[in-house]
Amino acid sequence: MRRFGRESDLSAPRFGATRAQAGLAPGARLAYGTAMTQRAHDRLLIIDFGSQVTQLIARRLRELNVYCDIHPFNRVDDAFLDDYAPRAIILSGGPASVTDPASPRAPQKVFELGVPVLGICYGQQVMIEQLGGAVEGGHHREFGRAWVEPTRDHEEDSIFTGLFATGREEVWMSHGDRVTALPPGFEVYGKSQGAPCAIVADPARHFYAVQFHPEVHHTPNGRVLLANFTRLAGFTGDWTMGAYRDEAVAKIREQVGDGKVICGLSGGVDSSVAAVLIHEAIGDQLTCVFVDHGLLRQNESDEVVTMFRDHYNIPLIHADESERFLGALEGVSDPEEKRKIIGGLFIDVFQKHAAEVGGAEFLAQGTLYPDVIESVSAAGGPSVTIKSHHNVGGLPEKMGLKLVEPLRELFKDEVRALGRELGLPAHFIGRHPFPGPGLAIRCPGAITRDKLEILRKADAIFIDQIRRHGLYDDIWQAFVALLPVRTVGVMGDGRSYDYACALRAVTSVDGMTADYYPFTHEFLGETAGRIVGEVEGINRVTYDITSKPPGTIEWE
């Protein structure tokens, strides 16, 4: 079988190309995610047609140490393809129907580049239709679990290697249309009850198209299919964190030169990993600013300061601005108002302290890949704002700074892997996400220092319980919310009239959807007992069992 991708046929410029080779004007920003910076690796292009699960294709490929990018179909044209020079292409699923003349297509050039192409679901139908086959609309809906059976023999070293060992494969389907006639050169390799062309291929040209979604967990061997595809395309699995670290350090040096960089540290994993990486690259040209807004968890401020200043020796401005924040929040109970006050103040305070780092030209941010993927909206139009997120989005323009974003190409778990590679302590890397507005949004109603203190103690006990029971890593995020309500209780022989609190613990993949964590009754009972027993000011504990949606993870 012909394989693609020996070293000799690489057409992309290699990492280390000069600015001129990369088409950059002298002094132009060398951002992460530009064509030049990614050419250290062979690249797979995912053309997104708007499927809910396109990001999962990228996740699975990254797990295979294959570098890939997602680009919306309407941004991929012939010039883009020439410039990107993919080693292989995947066409994602999507909500449209190819039987609708207005539905999206791939540039025909995708099929003329001579690289392997895999079409998934809608991507299958696009490929088949564009190459001269036919797709029928409507009446053959198939959703959820299905079984695909092979319809013909395949070569030993093929995209099917390791599949069909038990005679059939469990897959996840979600389609209304189906392929009914094949383009020249294609054969059917697998069928399901609702999709007679569940797998079709033209192996000579390395065109493969599947009706099901190999990228989702519900297709247990989907990973095998994707691994076979990338192997045949010639990917060597060179996208590792060790390699990433070396390249990122070189890129930061090249971008920053001998300039100064400031980095807003939140104490979260992303900004911490970004800071350590940048420090490795440019040492004391980096200064971190950690703004303590008085809304942090127990010992959080000490932990962050100790790690950065003492353990890593990274220059750090520890700005204790709690008085200012808590003063501004006094009497405020509306959640959006709290968020806006905190966001606005953060920018002011950060700017004030950043000025101490005279002449900084660059601002470092822990932006991740999911933040920069342009999503294709099937319906069009902006989505509703549920919460105004606190971030430093307004800073670069306001301060005239250039951005350094060394994590722009990574998913959250890759950031954690990079953190491990950089030697950050395991307990720090594995920390649950913590929102910018901190405890302010876990203290519904008016915030007071007393309430924050009570909340900190209860939260610390809950997290301690979770750790003691070995559950921390199974949970996406866990915290206590202090409720703005006092309830009557009996303690010893006396009456109590104290606050109620709610425990919140969720499982999630990305924070977009979540489910409550199914603690045992014993765990909940023990935790409630400890909180009421050890925290003065709380006499009642509840467990929040709302999923997201309809709830959100935080209470405000």
- Residues in contact with ligand XMP, counted by CB under 6 A, come to a total of 13
Verify whether residue 311 is a known catalytic residue.
no
Catalytic residue, candidates 215, 321, 409, 556? 215
**Cα–Cα dist 144/199, whole Å:** 17
Q: Which of 160, 174, 165, 164 is nearest to 218 (CA)?
A: 174
Least distance between ligand XMP and beta carbon 387 (Å): 5
553 binds ligand XMP (CB under 6 A): yes
Question: Is the CA virtual torsion 251, 254, 255, 259 positive or negative?
Answer: positive
Binding mask 373-412 for ligand XMP (x = CB under 6 A): --------------x-xx----------------------
Buried b (16+ CB within 10 A) or exposed e, 325-344: bbeebeebeebeebbebbbe
Q: State the nearest-atom distance from the C-beta of 279 to ligand XMP, in Å.
A: 22
Whether 213 is a known active-site residue: answer yes
Name the strand (E) or helix (H) holding 454: helix 449-468
Token pair, residue 467, equals 């750790």
Q: Is the CB of 19 or the CB of 412 nearer to ligand XMP?
A: 412
Residues 423-462 within binding reach of ligand XMP (CB under 6 A): 433, 435-437
97 within 8 A of 176, measured Cβ to Cβ: yes
Task: For the CB of residue 433, give the shortest distance to ligand XMP in the complex, in Å.
Answer: 4
Pair 295, 438: CB distance under 8 Å: yes
Minimum distance, C-beta of residue 477 to ligand XMP, in the bound complex (Å): 5
Number of alpha carbons in the 13 Å side-chain half-sphere of residue 376 = 24
Q: Is 554 in the site for ligand XMP (CB under 6 A)?
A: yes
Is 283 a binding residue for ligand XMP by CB under 6 A? The answer is: no
Catalytic residue among 68, 121, 263, 288: 121
Minimum gap (Å) between residue 544 Cβ and ligand XMP: 12
Considering the candidates 41, 175, 206, 213, report the single residue annotated as catalytic. Answer: 213
- Residues of span 470-529 touching ligand XMP by CB under 6 A: 477, 511
- Residue nearer to ligand XMP on the CB measure, 124 or 365: 365
Which region, left, alpha or beta, applies to residue 380 given φ > 0 means left and ψ of -120 to 50 means alpha? Answer: left
The residue (of 158 and 508) whose beta carbon lies closer to ligand XMP is 508
Residue 121 annotated among the catalytic residues of the structure? yes
- Please identify, using beta-carbon distances, which residue of 238 and 371 lies nearer to ligand XMP: 371
Q: Where are the alpha helices (DSSP H) in 233-334?
A: 241-256, 269-282, 300-305, 322-329
Q: How far apart are CA 556 and CA 542, in angstroms?
A: 17
Binding site for ligand XMP (CB under 6 A): 387, 389-390, 433, 435-437, 477, 511, 548, 552-554
Catalytic residue list = 121, 213, 215
